[in-house]
Amino acid sequence: MNTNIALKLLQLVALTIPPIAVLIQMLRNSENLEWGVRKWSFGLALGSVVAFIGAGVSVLGYFIIHANLPLILVVGMGLAVAGLVPFALFTGVLYREHKANHGP
């Protein structure tokens, strides 16, 4: 049962990243927001990505300790979680570019 819960959590992480990317794009295209709101919004998006990375790492840790999975599967899941790190860094790069265009 715990394995099913862990798998559902990984599915949740996988399903929520694309909407975050869309929200970041919408934020970048918005023209009626003050700089403070834009800054707060980017912070929320980045915080959400970091939280999902943490969730993925915890599920991966659970599988390593309790599920006795084959090494290739553990490596694959680790790469999936590690793939979120560039997304978080890219969000930071977008923030800097956005600040240059809209910030104080």
What tens-digit pLDDT sequence spans the chain (104 residues)?
A: 677 877 787 788 788 878 888 888 888 888 888 888 888 888 888 888 888 888 888 888 888 888 888 888 888 888 888 888 888 888 888 888 888 888 88
Cα→Cα distances 28→13, 25, 61, 104, Å? 23, 5, 35, 16
Q: Two tokens at 103?
A: 């910030």
Say if pTM beats, i.e. exceeds, 0.85. no
Cβ atoms of 15 and 52 closer than 8 Å: no
Domain regions of the chain by residue span: 2-102
Compute how many other C-beta atoms are within 10 angstroms of the C-beta atom of residue 44: 13
Cα–Cα distance between 6 and 29 in angstroms, integer? 36
